[in-house]
Amino acid sequence: MKRILLIATGGTIASRETGDGLAPGISAEGLLELVPGIEGKVRVECAELLSLDSTNMTPEHWLMIAGCIRKNYGNYDGFVITHGTDTLAYTAAALSYLVKGSPKPIVLTGAQKPICFDSTDSKENLRDAFLCAASDMPGVSIVFDHKVILGTRAKKTRSKSFSAFESINYPDLGVIRDGELLRFIRQSCGEEPEFSEALNTHVALLKLIPGTGREILDFLFERNDAVVIESFGVGGLPESGGFYECVGEWLRRGRIAVLTTQVENEGSDLGVYHVGHRLKEELGVLEAYDMTTEAVLAKLMWIMAKTKNAPEVEKLFYTPVAMDMFPR
């Protein structure tokens, strides 16, 4: 019988009603008691790591989760992490880099309704997560609404519906039907995971809107080692307002700029329009292509804890990890 470690971090799945709205209050053991049958199929032990609304999740907490996995990696066959849905995709992306190439399943799940509610998706999501954690599906994934989504490709696309997550620019790894895992893709892994213990949190995100001025970009570059710019469509920067000059100045000072798109599907292509072409060809701005914003941010934090040298950052950024981008 497979041994699985349940790592609890809080979230809606573990929440109760309070006078001020829902708040985490159910332990990992409490979750298991409300889903009979799981412990008859796998041996489960619990780690009560955090009790957070996932809005309060930070990179420091990602390192704590990765550290818990590292400490217990040799003792278990797989891991289930319960987590709030709002930042679940960020945590899944971060763990894909912090526990790179894991041959064991690291499965994140949560719920849109608390487990103590009569109408809840918690119990099915938990059962499905343990099924996947006891399988031979390696690496980091999110299991939600009977879908298995690669950790670097997940995005929350619905705020209330049970079908909260989608896989962006990549197929689902599998589905769970009638209590059986139907696997479509088995991601590659190493013989042992590569653990990382540091993140550089001086990475910022700017979402462009029509009329944005360069002073915001200057502000972010002044205080961060890298800035991700969510542009429009296939990507580019406004030709007015001094954006091009701003990016050029900060790149010459050693900062890193990555251009991505606000459009969820199909990714960026800076070569299409004049507003994007010269950014890449003349300035050397990095391009996110088909990556999710969550993966871009997590990957940059991971890379820039290793190096701030621009050529090295570029090489690592364009090296696919857990299929976070298609090879270029």
Point out the residues that are catalytic. 12
- Phi, psi (rounded to 5 degrees) for 234: -80, -5
**How many C-beta atoms surround the C-beta of residue 64 within 10 A?**
15
C-alpha dist (Å) from residue 309 to 33, 105, 117, 255: 50, 33, 51, 9
Rg of the chain taking only CA atoms, in angstroms? 20
Those residues with Cβ within 8 angstroms of residue 227's Cβ, 6 or more apart along the chain or in another chain = 203, 204, 205, 206, 217, 220, 221, 250, 255, 256, 257, 258
User: Do the beta carbons of residue 9 and residue 83 sit within 8 Å?
Assistant: yes
The pair of three-digit structure tokens given for residue 203, joined into one six-digit string: 């990475």
CA–CA separation, 139 and 102 (whole Å): 5
Q: How far is the C-alpha of 195 from the C-alpha of 86, rounded, in Å?
A: 25
